[in-house]
Amino acid sequence: MMRGKSRFLHRVSEKSPVKKEPFRTCLACRAKKAKQGLYRMVAVNGEVVFDEKQQLPGRGAYCCKTKTCLKRLFKNEKKIVKAFRCKKLIVSAFDSPL
Ligand SMILES: [Zn+2]
């Protein structure tokens, strides 16, 4: 019984990557959270956009879904630029969903 159960659990964890999902770090407060609790941002043609569906290709950066963290990030554009390793980044196009 025990043996059978543990084997089943092992199989499930192998098939579902949910539990193994790596946490992302918020750029503003550096808290580590699961993707669902964070906004994903992607640089598209030198512009930072919010990737609401978290499906856009490319290097992404993350920020907590809180006004505090978003405001903190807006104030510190250098952090964003650094995160995307871009020389020029249009952060003014940063359209906050909040
Ligand atoms: Zn944060």
- Per-residue pLDDT reduced to its tens digit, 19-51: 667 899 999 999 999 988 999 988 888 788 888
Q: Tell me the CATH architecture of domain 23-98.
A: 2-Layer Sandwich (3.30)
Distance in Å, CA 74 to ligand 1 centroid: 12
- Per-residue pLDDT reduced to its tens digit, 51-69: 888 888 888 899 999 999 9
Q: pLDDT band at 14, cuts 50/70/90?
A: low
Helix (H) or strand (E) holding 31: none
Distance in Å, CA 96 to ligand 1 centroid: 14
Q: pLDDT band at 76, cuts 50/70/90?
A: confident
Q: 1 or 25, which is more confident?
A: 25
Q: 76 or 21, which is more confident?
A: 76
Q: Please report, for residues 27, 37, 65, 79, 90, the alpha-carbon distance to residue 31 in angstroms, rounded to integers and kept in the order given.
A: 8, 11, 12, 15, 25
Distance in Å, CA 13 to ligand 1 centroid: 29
| Rounded CA separation 41/84 (Å) | 10
Q: Are strands 32-33 and 24-25 parallel, antiparallel or unpaired?
A: antiparallel
Around Cβ 7, how many Cβ atoms within 10 Å?
Answer: 10
Q: What is the dihedral of CA 32, 33, 35, 38, to 10 degrees?
A: -90
Predicted pLDDT at 93:
47
Which of 42, 48, 59 has its CA nearest to residue 91?
A: 48
Percentage of residues in the chain with pLDDT exceeding 70? 67
Distance in Å, CA 83 to ligand 1 centroid: 14
